Structure 1
């Protein structure tokens, strides 16, 4: 058995993680900065080397990245599935705040709700219901 946790690189991992705490609930459980490393130059000590966020029963990892190291492209979405339609809709709307709705959150022909959104940090999400 394995667990899969997204590792999201950002220009400002602390601010980005705070956004997800606001949208998902949950909490930031740990932050390690480059300042924790011996001999790190002063200008980089504030950068996040590793951050763990727990929300929605999931674990997300985050870190600050170099300017071009987090170009997301269009090759992958993070998919969240919910039993409750109201909760799914709330999460979708939260992720869409200052982001781009790619596909509105609506009922699909197969019966479930589904929407696709690029959040304000460029991360692509699919939010769905299980039934």
Structure 2
């Protein structure tokens, strides 16, 4: 499954509410950066603790995912949408990740995280950002 992932500069909560109302969806979720487990190697800035780390709205049976950014790394038109590959096939994910990262940049190597047994992200040679998440 490929899912759009919309990135916002501090308005993700507002956007989730807006789209949920617009599409009359009651299936929403919001997790803030402040709710994530603390990592001393990557401390969360105080001004980001209430920003959306991950959220979604279900529209027509499919999820549209949302996130906010840190104030020192704002999103702009062009880098505010990523494509998220959600799969239960680790080999498929590893192969696609490798193929898309050729001539691109690995933003986060495929690895276990607190929210997924296998997660990673890349920017391909066409500047399209892809997220891979095992479920």
TM-score (norm 1): 0.47
TM-score (norm 2): 0.46
Structure showing greater relative contact order (alpha-carbon pairs closer than 8 Å, 6 or more residues apart): 2
